[in-house]
Amino acid sequence: MSVGLLLIAFVHDLLTYDRFNENGKRIYRITSIAKFKAEQDGKYSSTSKLIRQKIADVQQVTIVRRDFVQDASVGDKVLPIRGMWAEPSLFRIFTFPMLEGNPDTALKDPYTVVLTESTARKIFGSSQAMGQIIRFDSIDYQVTGIMKDVPFFSHINFEALVSLSTAQQLHKNDMNFEKWSNMYGNSVYLLLAEHANVDDIQSKLNEIAMEENRAEERMEIQLELLPLHKIVVGEKLHSGSMSGSEGPHISGSLLWILGGLAFIVILSACFNYTNLSIARAMRRFKEVGLRKAIGAGSGQVWQQFMSEAILISLSALLFSFLFFLFLRPKFINLAPQMQQTVKLELTPSVVAAFLVFSVLVGGMAGLLPALFFSKISALQALKNGRSVKMFSYRALRRSLVIIQYTVTLIFITTTFLSYVQYKNMLAFDLGFNTENVLNISMQGNQPDVLLKELNEMPEVTALSKSMIITSVGNAWGGYIKYKDSRDSALVMTNHVDENYLPLHQYKLVAGENFIARPNTPEGVREIIVNQQFLKRFNISATDPGQAIGEEITFSNYKVRSQKMTIIGVIKDFHYGKLENIIEPVAFMSWTPQDQAIINAKIKNSDLASTMNKIESTWKKIDPVHPLKAEFYEDAIKEAYSEFSTMIQIIAFLSFLTISIASMGLLGMVVFTTETRLKEICICKVMGASSGNLIILLSRNFLICCPSPHWSQFL
């Protein structure tokens, strides 16, 4: 039952998300389904300004951008702040109470910011924060509002809100900033009118999508309405989808799987109760017979046995609750994401759900025994309990035991196979070396100073720079054309320096490594591709050497129609996770404008001491941000943490299931042995050895066929 309590508390927390919003039932988020031509589709949350103009039944519209992560400077104090670009309409849609300031005007003007209560205290202490100036990236912002902290069970979370008009000012020369296809950083929420028709609004969104897609060459975008209360639970996701979404996401299928596993464990315990109740039937025949003889009806007998089962279940609830308190912190600490998603706190609604659950379990366990005893006549029970025909119940009992152990074996086999698969995933040859490679995020700092310090450490044997960490779910890409200008493909990319390939031991099958060191994205002219890239564009796939010198055209949101030359071909490797197919990949030269991740090859002698030295060096360079460094192999483990968490859960349930089944079987053995005492005594008198008796008593539990001895007792 403690497993059931965990599941109830877990589901309750997930269903609690965003319930604090007063208008939650009328709030929807727009999901953009991007269909890339001849490429993998994806889901994103994005928008179009036409929504405000063309949909009458929408009461409020707000746009949120999630790419505000900067350092707040106030005097000598510098603190990292995680925020969002937002509009005043955000406060008219969501229930985020303002403590100081006017919610209708606080985010109206450029360079204004609203702080949460905790953030204001963190920056200004006990001083007045309202009206003060905060500097972000050498620009002054005025604090125009202080709001209550965002509730834990909110799918959007932030420390500060910065006016969206500021972002529009900063990107006024960027033609792509408000483009229809620039959906990756946006979330758009609608507050529908009281009696709005969702189907009508969806039709309007389809019209808007059709109109906007006319100008798109590479993709088509469909818009869908997603209710607020289905953002965390209920939405169907696939690999690489919802790249622009915010907050936790739990698939409905995962909840069904967990619920099914918990149900099997509880059902196994109910089988035990049913088995033992029916097995104890002979001892209660006279009790039932006497009750029926003095006038008790079948319904009253049924109620008696159902009440007994429910009372036992309620008693079990007390013990399972103590076990729940013990398991709760271990369950939350199974994975880092779990700590940020659920609390499993006790609330009146959770306690009520526990009680209802206990009653249902008791009813399920006591149903068959209650039906069995209620059908026995008084004459049969008082005359001779053994005359009652129980052959069907005997088969049922045997079937229940068999089902229990069958399910247990399935659990154990699944756990073993999953564990082997997980270990194989971690040890899988990705096509490059990750051993003792430490990836250090520069968090906006230029890498040169840290590279110099690391280069002087004898524990560091090699260094390189990259923009992202591959094979752990990260992705970056752009569109590439070869000779046919009509054939454009989305290709995954990474920006690396000339030391990256040798440090990770990528295998060059043709050409050479990077030589040039461009200073701007526009200056990048060299590209190294994998073999799958050659197959995709039909560039001498059989002879990679012939691809050297071929020219392609690359474009993304930073550069447009840039000519590049293939200078090298590397062997195929896994850019994404193992469940993704090997896809076309291109490496380009890293530039100072790119995000920087330092890849450091560390000696295996004393990793802990080396990490302490690196952390001390980092504090000298950046005293504000804590060191964000992770070994490549640990990052891969984290990428598959959901899988390992499921293995742990299934293993725990396997242990419980086999324990419950064995306890039930032990109860059956004890009871059966008690009923066969006379037979055992006679066998002993006739000279039977202990081994003969063990075989006699155990063979009924080792084979499915009934023993002749069962018939005289059943």
Q: Label residue 697 by pLDDT band (50, 70, 90).
A: confident
Rounded average pLDDT over 229-250: 65
Contact indicator for 300, 308 with CB cutoff of 8 Å: no
Give me the chain's average pLDDT, please: 84
pLDDT at 671 exceeding the cut of 60: yes
For residue 522, give every residue at least 6 positions away whose Cβ sits within 8 Å of its Cβ, in sequence order, or none: 559, 562
Q: Please, which residues bridge with residue 490 across strands?
A: 479
Helix ranges (H only) for 376-482 are 378-383, 391-427, 448-455
Q: Model confidence at 500, in pLDDT bands (50, 70, 90)? A: very high
- Average pLDDT of the segment spanning 696-702: 73
Q: Are the C-beta atoms of residues 672 and 697 closer than 8 Å to each other?
A: yes
What is the pLDDT confidence band of residue 341, given thresholds at 50, 70 and 90? Answer: confident
How far are the Cα atoms of 193, 264, 310, 314, 361 from residue 365, in angstroms, in the given order?
Answer: 48, 13, 8, 12, 6
User: In the prediction, which pLDDT does 510 show?
Assistant: 92
Higher pLDDT, 379 or 16: 16
Q: Which of 43-47, 174-178, 467-471, 689-693 has the lowest mean pLDDT?
A: 43-47
Q: Please state the pTM of the whole predicted model.
A: 0.80
The string of pLDDT tens digits covering residues 106-144 is: 999 999 999 999 999 999 998 999 999 999 988 999 999
d(CA 539, CA 532): 10
pLDDT value at residue 388: 52
Q: What percent of the chain has pLDDT over 70?
A: 87
Q: Tell which residue, 599, 592, 605, 591, has the closest CA to residue 451.
A: 599
| 142-152 pLDDT tens trace | 999 999 999 99
At residue 460, the pLDDT reads 93
Q: pLDDT band at 707, cuts 50/70/90?
A: very low
Looking at residue 92, its pLDDT comes to: 94
Whole-number pLDDT of residue 176: 66
The residue to which tokens 């006679």 are assigned = 682
Phi, psi of 440, deg, nearest 5: -115, 120
Sort 91 into a burial class: Cβ within 10 Å, 0-12 / 13-18 / 19+. buried
Residue 38 has pLDDT above 60, yes or no: no
